[in-house]
Amino acid sequence: MVSPNTPTPPRNKYEAFLEVPEIANFINFYSKKFDLPVDLSTKQGCDEFVTSIYPQLRIHKGFPATEGARRDDAEQATAEWSNEEERTIIYAATEVLGINNKETSLTGEHEIVVALPGAYQANLDRPNFVINAIKNGEAEIKLLIFVGSKRKLSDAERAKIENYAPGTQTEFDAVKATFEKLSAENPGISMRLIEIKNDQEHTASIVDKVASELDVDGENMTFVTTEIYRLTTEIDVLRGLSGHNVLEKFVAGNPSDQTRVEQRANNPNEYYQEILKWLRSLANYKKELPWLFWSS
């Protein structure tokens, strides 16, 4: 018998997310499609569904089974979206999660701002997002960090960055070209370039290595990604900074290219994979970051 003085068990935020009708509809739709039993009333099978179904759901829509090539996924995927129910479910989940928001602005005072590396125009757009916020009087920062890894660029990517990093072969090369260009154009803004020595680094690992390179004890850190990736990047930042004494953490999101936004309105490929990555992040990291997922 439970004593009347027994404290109420803390609420699991992960389970609360799964109770959002639009998220529940997404899980129920694909659990039935792939015959994976999930009982959202008891959460039975949710972790197994989210983690085991991830590769199958990506393959289902023509994505690579893993996300190593995520930057090219949207263009390479062979997905067909003729099922109107499926499209409606994806767009509804996208809306409630805010994945299709235009941007998360950079405003106010920030100490260390890190422009996370990306592909195509991201290595130019993200730091420019910060610089424009400074020039427009919306934000003040102490230091802008440029960071890149030794990830080799695909032929398609190299062709699309000729405007700011011609002839470059790696992500760091592209970031370095951006750093040199923007630091020369903006001498009044303190900037620093950091190289990640490995060629395959998850965002959380990049965050950890940047924090280790800098003296961040007692500091605040802000990270800039593209808005569509911000939700999962928030979890990556918490993971990467879990071993560092960073007081406040914030993730800003710069707008996507307008052409891509218009494509997403008719083709939910990118929204689909971002929902999958977010769900998987919740399932994989809830034990690693219990303080993130539990509250009274």
- Which of the two residues, 72 and 104, has the higher pLDDT score? 104
Give one word for 98, left, alpha or beta, with left for phi > 0 and alpha for psi -120 to 50. Answer: left
Percent of the chain exceeding pLDDT 90 equals: 53
> What is 108-254's CATH topology?
Rossmann fold (3.40.50)
Token reading at 124: 């130019």
Task: Band the pLDDT of 27: cuts 50, 70, 90.
Answer: confident
Interstrand relation of 11-12 and 294-295 (parallel, antiparallel or unpaired) = antiparallel
Q: How far is CA 265 from CA 28, 88, 270, in A?
A: 23, 12, 10
DSSP codes of every residue in the chain: ---TTSPPPPEEHHHHHHTSHHHHHHHHHHHHHTT---BTTTTBTHHHHHHHHHHHHHHHTT--SSSTTHHHHHHH-------HHHHHHHHHHHHHHTTT-S-B---EEEEEEEE---STTHHHHHHHHHHHHHHTTSEEEEEEEEEE--PBPPHHHHHTTTTTSTT--BHHHHHHHHHHHHHHH-TTS-EEEEE--SS---HHHHHHHHHHHTT-TT-EEEEEEEGGGHHHHHHHHHHHTTTS--SEEEEEEEPPPHHHHHHHHH--HHHHHHHHHHHHHHHHHTTTSHHHHEE-
Task: Band the pLDDT of 64: cuts 50, 70, 90.
Answer: low
pLDDT at 7: 42
Alpha-carbon gap, residue 253 to 259, rounded angstroms: 17
Integer-rounded Cα Rg, in Å, for the chain is: 20
- Span 168-196, pLDDT tens digits: 999 999 999 999 999 999 999 999 999 99
Task: Band the pLDDT of 201: cuts 50, 70, 90.
Answer: confident
Task: Band the pLDDT of 200: cuts 50, 70, 90.
Answer: confident
pLDDT at 5: 43
Task: Band the pLDDT of 287: cuts 50, 70, 90.
Answer: low
Give one word for 228, left, alpha or beta, with left for phi > 0 and alpha for psi -120 to 50. Answer: alpha
For CATH 3.40.50, the residue range(s) in the chain are 108-254
pLDDT at 109: 96
pLDDT of 199 over the 90 cut: no
Alpha-carbon gap, residue 95 to 287, rounded angstroms: 27
- Span 80-112, pLDDT tens digits: 677 899 999 999 999 999 999 999 999 999 999
pLDDT at 280: 79
Mean residue pLDDT across the chain: 83
pLDDT at 277: 84
Token reading at 136: 């427009």
Label residues 18-49 b or e (16+ Cβ within 10 Å = b).
beeebbbbbbebbbeeeebebebeeeebbbeb
- Its pTM stands at 0.85
The answer to whether 178 and 124 have CB atoms below 8 angstroms apart is yes
Q: Which amino acid is at 234?
A: E
